[in-house]
Structure 1
């Protein structure tokens, strides 16, 4: 039986999450703009010695500033003499907008996770039976991972890159992939559904985060190569840091996807009597595995630049998008469980 009240509460929670996350996206965007503009101004502002016309080498600039600066202590407590602040001593720009975006993201995470749980309670099963529920689970994992990550590290700069794709997933789920809460068809009523799809959604959420950081890296790296790190790009970490984070996220996501493919084969043997049949969904899952394996190999190969390797990772996420949209909606196979009316 389906509990209509819980199903309706789930729908309301997801719509509310979309609104909250949209505001969070705006707050994160303002944070990038404000922080980037402040850093650009500091980088372009001449140093104290340059304004005085005193040529000083980069290594000795700090000592020269100290030598030429008036001695406040010698002047006495009543003196109005102050030491001019160097550009590097100026306070960092306000993090207010970024913090607001993060707090709204936490609220949005609570709403998405709550809506997903309510969807499952409404049908007394794991909410993993169709394309709509798969989207909710993926969005939940992506937001939970980012929110937990932001508690340990300053990741305000990453907020917009995460919230935008999550909003696209939730928007598409509500507008085009929505399916009324219902019971599972017999082929899906298996414990391997929970194991296989849960690991698949978690790995896709991590691949989404990896693609978000990879995009930030490519944009920042292009700006650094041209010597034009200005505006909101200046709010991002250095390109080398972003590339290292990209690699780290994929190192975690790839084994999970490998297990998802393997568990799917075990489920297929129980449901259809064979481990692998080159069904469109199986084929594209393998294609995704090959592309990400190629990325990790290229990243470890001296003949490839990190920039070229990162483009392979972006291609891998493109394959995930194809697998989830084109394959689910336009191709017919044993995995035709999207629930979307064609």
Structure 2
């Protein structure tokens, strides 16, 4: 199989461009988050104190007030969100170009898997956080970390996959797992923010930067619902990926399940998320206990991705690291 070096190079450039745009979008969204949330907090404090808004001076009676221009926070938010969309397009384009360059589905090594999972996380965030766009800041940070690792430690040149992965099950099984993992990233971030938010329920436990940051977050109920809604989407996807992987294993190795390290930790991760959903519906476990279980599931997924693939030897050792 010949590799189209030109398309492979374009794929790398698209990935690098997407990373740079995500960084710039993060900076703009941080500026929007800081300025807008600070203004909202100030307005809430004025309302609590019973202060009425001050009418503009110099306005003549009977005249319609002119519509004020956009604030800097709105401008930052608009530019950041626009860049985010451009970054997603380039991100997806990098995967498409990698697939065209290698004439296969672009999920044959850890670089490609992490690229797909990060793209799924950003798309899921755009859908799930459309009413709380400020939270994009907290999602983009882990996405940027993972993309940096993918471009450095995990990077692999465009090449054919090993014979064991040359199967029609590759795009089915690995795509479902990577998309589910990306959505779990959104859920994990939401649970971490929920745990942080309830540490300062009204932002009144101190005046330090941690208290102020908690005060600027959405309320804990919104964060908890975000974590739950994304988990109930990712959970069946991840479970279906495990089942399809077992079917592929039977076709490739003659058995559905062999307690390979990758299989075992994937199953443990799925059980942890099942425990989270059960705890979320159980009285007395819905708040911090359920959130911690959700965080534990995300940690188990990261352990499965990095430690099992890079350290532990098994039948699923297809990291493709140089």
TM-score by length of structure 2 reads 0.89
- Picking from 79, 95, 101, the partner of 1:116 is 95
Per the alignment, residue 109 of structure 2 pairs with 130
Tell me which moved more, 191-200 or 219-228.
219-228
How many Å separate the matches in 1 of 2:279 and 2:249? Answer: 32
How many Å separate the matches in 2 of 1:35 and 1:309? Answer: 31
Per the alignment, residue 293 of structure 1 pairs with 274
Q: Point out where structure 1 has 5 or more consecutive residues left out of the alignment.
A: 52-64, 71-75, 83-90
Q: Secondary structure at the match of 1:168?
A: helix
The change in CA–CA distance for 1:98 and 1:226 in structure 2 (over 3 A counts) is closer
Tell me which moved more, 112-121 or 24-33.
24-33
How many Å separate the matches in 2 of 1:78 and 1:36? Answer: 34
The change in CA–CA distance for 1:233 and 1:102 in structure 2 (over 3 A counts) is farther
How many Å separate the matches in 2 of 1:225 and 1:37? Answer: 14
What whole-Å deviation, never above 9, does each CA across 1:77-126 have from its counterpart, x for those lacking one? 479xx9xxxxxxxx998422222211111111011101111000000110
How many Å separate the matches in 2 of 1:12 and 1:320? Answer: 29
The change in CA–CA distance for 1:120 and 1:77 in structure 2 (over 3 A counts) is same
How many Å separate the matches in 2 of 1:27 and 1:46? Answer: 29
Question: By how many angstroms is 1:149 displaced?
Answer: 4.4
Per the alignment, residue 184 of structure 2 pairs with 207
Larger radius of gyration: 1
Cα RMSD of the aligned pairs, angstroms, is 2.5
Per the alignment, residue 8 of structure 1 pairs with 9
Per the alignment, residue 244 of structure 2 pairs with 263
Per the alignment, residue 308 of structure 1 pairs with 289
Per the alignment, residue 196 of structure 2 pairs with 219
TM-score by length of structure 1 reads 0.84
**Contact 2:91-2:119 at 8 Å conserved across structures:** yes
Q: Secondary structure at the match of 1:95?
A: helix
Per the alignment, residue 58 of structure 1 pairs with none
Q: Secondary structure at the match of 2:83?
A: helix
Q: Point out where structure 2 has 5 or more consecutive residues left out of the alignment.
A: none
